[in-house]
């Protein structure tokens, strides 16, 4: 089998990297050691699963040979082992095929999360605040760090817009399918007649770009400072700590007023700008080569409704995969794993199906 040959090559590469990490020349070179360790860790899961598969395959082969024994009890034991090991081997083969799928190079990145109120007026801003809280609680459960870079509140205590950096382990891999329109159906607090209204917010999940990936020429930036606005405090409307950066070639504008320090606000704004420029570059690449991510999540147009949150029925439905859960209260409290795991599994299966079709052709 071709994929088994590839697994053997990966195991050989893993063993080579393991040996390199014991080499004094590598140990004494911090950068080289870090790169070697990272390359090894990326192969570790596949190799562990492959070695598990090899053990089960060997045990199964041994059980099949036992069927030739003259002792009826040994043949009975062999049949029992075969009945147990065959489905186990099939499961491991399926998991290995998934692990061999091309990895999204963005999966390990931190993300810029942007939540904006859409149609629905004040009710949309209230829901935007709840959606942002949902992602914040989910991030906490994953051990991730959330840093708000920009926020605009509504008069009723909701959020017109909030932008935050979420950093941690494999953040983008778990949140990359969250971009799109999130629709809510419920009775607003301001509704006197108990009628269910429909509102919406847009969510964008952008992979954070490293400095080496996006070079920003200082001459292309116009930087303005202004007084912070928001809840009380001595720094509000008294010091020019807020920063607005305009990227002249693209017209992109980023503001940050979360910190009291102008230097910190500028640094955060530059991180947001870098991620947005990175997204623009990715979109250009997608238009040229028809990138897989674009085909998986549609056009990326935020007008596409991806999920509905129905409060009267305690129901949440993801329209892309037809998943419906009557656990809306838990989802809004940040327990997103049933949805994120289902989305990852669905798109992995789609990739595997596409790969199988291509190999047949």
Angle of the 72-99 helix axis to the 337-360 helix axis, nearest 10: 90
In a domain, 69, yes or no: yes
Q: Are residues 229 and 206 in the same domain?
A: no
In a domain, 21, yes or no: yes
Q: Are residues 95 and 29 in the same domain?
A: yes
Q: Are residues 42 and 185 in the same domain?
A: no
For residues 202 and 189, the answer to whether their CB atoms sit within 8 Å is: no
Q: What's the order of all strands across the beta sheet hosting 242-247?
A: 221-226, 242-247, 252-256
Q: Is the pLDDT of residue 172 over 50?
A: yes
CATH number of the CATH domain containing 279: 3.30.160.20
Average pLDDT, the chain: 85
Q: Are residues 313 and 333 in the same domain?
A: yes
**What's the pLDDT at 351?**
81
pLDDT band, very low/low/confident/very high, at 354 (cuts 50, 70, 90): confident
**What's the pLDDT at 302?**
39
Q: Which residues of 115-137 are buried (b: 16+ CB within 10 A; e: fewer)?
A: bbbbebebbbbbbbbebbebbbb
Q: Which of 65, 99, 133 is the last residue of a domain?
A: 99
Q: Are residues 95 and 138 in the same domain?
A: no
pLDDT tens-digit readout, 298-327: 433 334 689 999 999 999 999 999 999 999
**What's the pLDDT at 184?**
94
CATH number of the CATH domain containing 58: 1.20.58
**What's the pLDDT at 134?**
98
Range of the domain at 184: 111-212+295-350
Number of domains in the chain: 3
In a domain, 106, yes or no: no
pLDDT tens-digit readout, 53-91: 999 999 999 999 999 888 889 999 999 999 999 999 999
pLDDT tens-digit readout, 194-243: 788 899 999 999 888 765 567 788 888 898 887 766 544 444 445 677 88
In a domain, 270, yes or no: yes
Q: How far apart are CA 21 and CA 34, in angstroms?
A: 9
Non-local CB neighbours of 163 within 8 Å, separated by 6+ positions: 112, 113, 114, 115, 148, 149, 150, 151, 272
pLDDT band, very low/low/confident/very high, at 353 (cuts 50, 70, 90): confident
Counting residues of the chain whose pLDDT is more than 70, the rounded percentage is 87
Q: Is the pLDDT of residue 257 over 90?
A: no
In a domain, 140, yes or no: yes
**What's the pLDDT at 86?**
94
Q: Strand, helix or coil at 334? A: coil
Q: Are residues 115 and 205 in the same domain?
A: yes
Q: Is the pLDDT of residue 284 over 80?
A: no
**What's the pLDDT at 355?**
67
Q: Which of 285, 309, 341 is the last residue of a domain?
A: 285
**What's the pLDDT at 167?**
95
159-173 average pLDDT score = 93
In a domain, 208, yes or no: yes
The lowest-confidence range among 50-59, 78-87, 145-154, 287-296 is 287-296
Q: Are residues 142 and 198 in the same domain?
A: yes
For residues 208 and 111, the answer to whether their CB atoms sit within 8 Å is: yes
Q: Is the pLDDT of residue 295 over 50?
A: no
CATH number of the CATH domain containing 316: 3.30.70.1660
For residues 103 and 156, the answer to whether their CB atoms sit within 8 Å is: no
For residues 84 and 62, the answer to whether their CB atoms sit within 8 Å is: no
25-30 average pLDDT score = 92
pLDDT tens-digit readout, 86-112: 999 999 988 888 788 777 888 888 999
Where are any strands of DSSP class E within the chain? 111-117, 145-153, 159-167, 180-186, 197-207, 221-226, 242-247, 252-256, 305-310, 315-318, 323-325
């Amino acid at each position: 089998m071709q994929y088994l040959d590839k697994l053997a090559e990966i195991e050989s590469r893993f063993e080579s990297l393991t040996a390199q990490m014991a080499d004094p020349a590598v140990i004494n070179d911090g950068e080289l050691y870090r790169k070697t360790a990272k390359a090894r860790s990326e192969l570790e899961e596949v190799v562990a699963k492959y070695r598990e598969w090899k053990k089960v395959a060997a045990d199964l082969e041994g059980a099949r040979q036992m069927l030739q024994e003259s002792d009826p009890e040994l043949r009975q034991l062999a049949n029992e082992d075969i009945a147990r090991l065959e489905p186990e081997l099939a499961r491991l083969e399926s998991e290995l095929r998934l692990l061999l799928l091309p990895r999204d190079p963005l999966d390990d990145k931190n993300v810029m999360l942007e939540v904006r109120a859409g149609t629905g007026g004040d009710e949309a801003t209230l829901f935007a605040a709840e959606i942002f809280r949902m992602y914040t609680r989910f991030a906490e459960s994953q051990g991730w760090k959330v840093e708000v870079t920009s926020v605009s509140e509504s008069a009723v205590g909701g959020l017109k817009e909030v932008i935050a950096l979420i950093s941690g382990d494999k953040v983008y891999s778990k949140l990359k399918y969250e971009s799109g329109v999130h629709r809510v159906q419920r009775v607003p607090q301001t509704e006197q007649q108990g009628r269910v209204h429909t509102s919406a917010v847009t969510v964008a999940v952008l992979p954070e770009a490293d400095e080496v990936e996006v070079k920003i020429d200082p001459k292309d930036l116009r930087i303005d400072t202004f007084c912070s606005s928001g809840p009380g405090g001595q720094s509000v409307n008294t010091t020019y700590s807020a920063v607005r950066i305009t990227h002249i070639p693209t017209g992109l504008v980023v503001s940050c007023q979360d910190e009291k320090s102008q230097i910190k606000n500028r640094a955060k704004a530059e991180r947001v700008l870098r991620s947005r420029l990175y997204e623009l570059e990715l979109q250009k690449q997608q238009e040229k080569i028809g990138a897989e991510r674009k085909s998986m999540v549609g056009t990326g147009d935020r007008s596409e409704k991806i999920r509905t949150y129905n409060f009267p029925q305690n129901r949440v439905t993801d329209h892309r995969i037809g998943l419906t859960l009557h656990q809306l209260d838990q989802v809004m409290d940040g327990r997103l794993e049933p949805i994120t795991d289902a989305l990852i599994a669905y798109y992995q299966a789609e990739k595997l199906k596409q790969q199988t079709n291509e190999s047949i052709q």
